[in-house]
Structure 1
């Protein structure tokens, strides 16, 4: 068995529980993630999202329950799990003293990969950072820094990537850049588990959405399935006010004469009312 095995779901979680002293953070979490899909774990601050990610990435041990990533048990096959994944935290972990290309080369060397320069150049092109590759990462915008961070996470082609609130603190344009990157990852077959507290982010990106609340998954489904849980939308009729464009066209007409007559008629009617 290798780190590239694809038997069963990409991520399988059953009955995860975790407490910090008297605080119960996870109270029995269950979900599966299909290969090549984007799965959003949605919840407010303190719901337990990061704790789930830490357990799945072998940084933390669960009190009870089981979890497997890419077919490997996180408790008994931690080394194989780490070979199968990459983790991007809430804040970009780039070295701002180095250039974008140097950051990528460094990670490739740390992973003992051949041709680190070629790997770096390929990723710079893939993430539209070629022109910025020779600049220090400290000069990058928030969106560029996050794209570089994700590119670093993909060195070695991990089949599963965890993105823990990847757009926290980014401006709207940078968020859109990250969203496009995440969609491209899934399009290439990478399985993405995304944690977020932004409703629009989950709605825009995810194939399936699980809502984590007070340590439990309270709902898990596609966006369409979640919407069906609410009553059908009520249709209401409201009076539509004319726009300035409509007023203008109504008054000037095709040759302007009809408009003059309408304007004079409307003015006379107002005078009569007064």
Structure 2
């Protein structure tokens, strides 16, 4: 029974069907924001919402059935835990209207589970938090230094934008987008031509360097998240093959392991050739 549930929940058709249900649920939630639609078809929307909840409950039961007797295996997946909490919260009595809407909205977020690339992006965002946080601290320090310098230089010339260090830092923070750069260049040239290198140096450091570092951190996190997702999928495949008596699953896992080994060997050879050319 558990094997049949596992094969069903991991099938492409099942995942595609659940994706369609989640998207339809999102459409219904959006329609409920229009008073005219609620007045005309409020009862139908309510029935559809209950139907979606029933489908999600059946889906959760099937996923639990796939790991029958091993609840730890189910909750070891963050997405399984999230699905369980979202569906279970829908049955909590006494939820006020706002909390109930938030719970129903959380069901839509489950669409991430059924889109592998989007799942990798979400994981990459989480992995990039430490690097982005460090970059944010460095950027804040840079803005503070230039903000203090800007206050010293332009305090009396442009008090609206550089009247104190807080206002000066805000001006330089907006300058990260280059939106106010032309106005500040024009204002600085009224005071001295030497202010142009001051603003240019800030743009080179803050706008170009910082944003390129940010992109680099995110791309590196994307690669790490993709590799981690692939590794988790391989581990799930091995565990599923070990739990069945089918030799076909074992053969598939063995072939995929061999492919991974060959890919790693090819990457190592490519890196070695690149190092020799240097």
- TM interval, shorter chain, is under 0.3
User: TM (normalized to structure 2)?
Assistant: 0.22
* Structure whose alpha-carbon radius of gyration is higher: 2
Q: Which has the higher contact order (CA 8 A, sep 6+)?
A: 1
Q: Normalized per residue, which structure has more strand?
A: 1
The two structures have a TM-score, normalised by structure 1, of 0.22
